[in-house]
A = this chain, B = another copy of it.
């Protein structure tokens, strides 16, 4: 039997931890890199070969790297920063960059990796923590065919579905950003609709029931407005994530001088929610930008 591929996951948040554990479940020799000891300990307990705040101790052993940091700055730091591993990887090691980042960042990181003799797959993911945990993420990726091929064991481990968008670095980021445009607008539209229902005196449970059985439904409405009906804003994905992602969408429009009337409106709604102090609540808490209504879970007015 061939030796198992050795893969490191950088960023052990809810998505990265799920991806790392999926690699373990698929029999890959798995390493983890995260500044938080607790995350490293959790992955070690699950069977990782090694973990650490940086990865220089084991960089030379790796056959592949997956980056699932929150943003481009963290991605750059893990690759090229003080404890960065890029300079310590074997030449040609494929790096799957799966954070949600701008097209410009994707291209710049690919160029810097190339300078270090490394190959990049521009490979954003979707599906949320639940799908990440069971190796069922959707990967929307762009890059040379041989990089896809080199990463095949990792893709098999973490993804239920892999889209090969194109060979052009940046196209993966673009597709993810356009996907987030829809996801963010749908959450904000769900909030706007439920806020109007509350104002009009329609029971939110009834409104939810009608919409989820009719043509006005969306994946996000069905998933997130359930939280509003239940008055439970435990963050599965936080308001501030969509401030970031709709910010990327807005910047993408700006960079092309392309009008995005709904996305920029939705961005303003999430940014308003964040500034009002709801940034760390579940993203469905964007409904709290609407005044003049009482929602499930609200304190009765004095």
A→B interface (CB under 8 Å):
103, 126-128, 138, 140, 161, 163, 165-166, 171, 174-175, 178-183, 185-186, 188-190, 192-193, 195-197, 199-203, 206-207, 209-211, 213-221, 223, 252-253, 256, 258-263, 265-266, 268-269, 290, 292
- Taking CB atoms, residues of chain B closer than 8 Å to A128 are 215
Closest Cβ of chain B to A288, distance in Å, is 13
A and B contact pairs by CB, cutoff 8 A, 13 listed: A127-B215, A178-B211, A179-B216, A182-B189, A186-B216, A192-B262, A192-B263, A196-B253, A196-B256, A215-B223, A218-B220, A218-B221, A262-B266
- Taking CB atoms, residues of chain B closer than 8 Å to A218 are 182, 186, 217-221
- Taking CB atoms, residues of chain B closer than 8 Å to A203 are 166
A196 touches B219 (CB 8 A): no
- Contact flag A210-B140 (CB < 8 Å), given A126-B215, A174-B202: yes
- Nearest to A126 among chain B residues (CB) is B214
- Taking CB atoms, residues of chain B closer than 8 Å to A175 are 197, 202, 206-207, 210
B182 touches A185 (CB 8 A): no
Closest Cβ of chain B to A15, distance in Å, is 13
- Closest 7 CB pairs between A and B? A218-B218, A182-B216, A185-B189, A179-B216, A183-B216, A174-B200, A126-B214
- Taking CB atoms, residues of chain B closer than 8 Å to A126 are 214-216
CA distance A182 to B189 in the complex (A): 6
B183 touches A215 (CB 8 A): yes
Closest Cβ of chain B to A123, distance in Å, is 13
B259 touches A202 (CB 8 A): no
B258 touches A265 (CB 8 A): no
- Taking CB atoms, residues of chain B closer than 8 Å to A206 are 163, 165, 175
Closest Cβ of chain B to A205, distance in Å, is 11
- Nearest to A257 among chain B residues (CB) is B292
CA distance A248 to B195 in the complex (A): 17
Q: Among B103, B178, B200, B290, which residue has its beta carbon within 8 angstroms of that of A178?
A: B200
CA distance A170 to B62 in the complex (A): 65
- Taking CB atoms, residues of chain B closer than 8 Å to A261 are 192, 265, 268-269
B138 touches A256 (CB 8 A): no
- Taking CB atoms, residues of chain B closer than 8 Å to A201 are 171
